Structure 1
Amino acid sequence: TVSEATVQIKIGDEIHHTVAEASGPVGALDDALRKAIAPVFPEIMEVELIDFKVRILESQHGADAIIRVQIESTDGNEIWGTVGASDNIIEATWEALVDSVEYKILLDSEKG
């Protein structure tokens, strides 16, 4: 099956809207986010998601449990990890992905 993600983000005064497809929802969301950011921060296309882990916290709450998503990313030189947490797995994944690309942008800005 193919998953599709649509992302609309605002960078400065510009709205960037992209759609991406991948073999799963995480890959589609990751691709769409990076495509949306790439016109302003082209170096973001160097980032690759290399690990994705999901853990249910407070499992006694069933469907209302908090989910923690932990991802590991690389740009070919550095490896970093980010985490998202929510009662919604897509939201937790989004938080971790956004933190990952923000970290890459910060990392590159410090290199100068």
Structure 2
Amino acid sequence: MTGPLFSTSDLNLSWLFLVRASIVGGAAAVPTAFAWWNTQTSRRLQLMFFALILGTAVAGAWLVNEIRGVETHYALFGGVRRVPVFSGSHMFVSMMLGSVLGGNAVAAALYLYRALRYRET
């Protein structure tokens, strides 16, 4: 194997999008979970809520990216071969939007449920 340790050219596009959604969703889920952290809830429920927020943030990032699509431009490689080039900023904005909205919606719902049902704040 020559070249870098992790080469995206070896992956098909679905895996590439899933890996990027996991990275962006994971990065957005950690501060979201701590922002809505409820100290009066048991540790087991806190960890379960964190896992749910993480899963929702990753799924939200992937789903919004699939709905919005990816801007693709074509470039010439070697002067003759046309290759697709993805807009990384468009993909990042789509994934960040989905992960932040999805993670915060679930976190807010869980926090409000515990606050209203069990009077935990």
Higher relative contact order (CA 8 A, sep 6+): 2
Which protein is richer in strand relative to its size?
A: 1
Do both share a fold (TM > 0.5)?
Answer: no
Larger radius of gyration: 2
TM-score, normalising length: structure 1 = 0.43
TM-score, normalising length: structure 2 = 0.41
Which protein is richer in helix relative to its size?
A: 2
